[in-house]
Amino acid sequence: MIPSGPFERHDHASCRARALAQADQVCGERLTPVRRRVLELLLESHVALGAYDVLERLRDEGHRAQPPVAYRALDFLVAQGLAHRIERLNAFIACHRPADCEAPAFLICRACNRVAETGNTPKRGALARDARALGFEIEETVIEARGLCPACQTP
C-alpha cells in the first residue's frame, strides 16, 4: 500500500474528520473530552508529538493537566488503535487508517519530523515468512525508516 498523504498535498480536513468519526465509533462514551482533544492535537498535522508537547498544548488551552493525564490519554488512544508511538522520536502520531491498521511501517523525515504511515505490514512479508520457517510467531513489529521527505530534499 502506498503511504498516506503527509508528504503530498491532500485534504487534511477530511482525513481529520474521518479519523475523529472513526474514534467516535470505536470508543463511544470512553472518548472523554480530554482524550478527544489529545487525538485532535495529534491530527492537526502529520508531525509526531511528544507527551510533553501534548501536555503543553493542553495547558495552553486552559486544561489543568498534569503529565499522567497526557500519558493516560495517549496510552488509551494507542490501545484503541487510534494512535501510534513512534519509538525513534519518543512521540505519537494519529493513526489515519484505524479500521485496517495491523502493523504499519513508518517513514520519518529527519528534517521536518513528518511521519507517513504505510500499510506494508512486516507480518505479511519476508520477515513473516522467515519467522514462520523458524517456527517463530511474530506478536509485534515496529518498522521505522528515516530519511528525507520530498519537501526537504534539496534538488
Task: Quick: pLDDT tens for 100-128.
Answer: 676 778 899 999 888 988 876 655 678 88
Judge whether 87 and 106 are in contact, CB under 8 Å: no
> Average pLDDT in the 34-48 region?
91
Dihedral sign (CA 13, 15, 17, 20)? negative
**Predicted confidence band of residue 147 (pLDDT cuts 50, 70, 90):** very high
2 within a domain of the structure (yes/no): no
24 within a domain of the structure (yes/no): yes
What integer pLDDT is reported at residue 122 of this predicted model? 58
Predicted TM-score of the model (pTM): 0.81
Dihedral sign (CA 113, 118, 123, 124)? negative
Q: What one-letter code names the amino acid at 139?
A: E
111 within a domain of the structure (yes/no): yes
1 within a domain of the structure (yes/no): no
> Average pLDDT in the 23-40 region?
93
Q: What one-letter code names the amino acid at 59?
A: R
Number of domains in the chain: 1
Structural domain boundaries enclosing 81: 10-152
Judge whether 58 and 70 are in contact, CB under 8 Å: yes
Helices 33-43 and 51-60, packing angle to 10 deg? 110
109 within a domain of the structure (yes/no): yes
20 within a domain of the structure (yes/no): yes
17 within a domain of the structure (yes/no): yes
Tens of pLDDT, residues 78-103: 999 999 999 989 999 998 777 667 67
Residue 107 belongs to a domain with what CATH number? 1.10.10.10
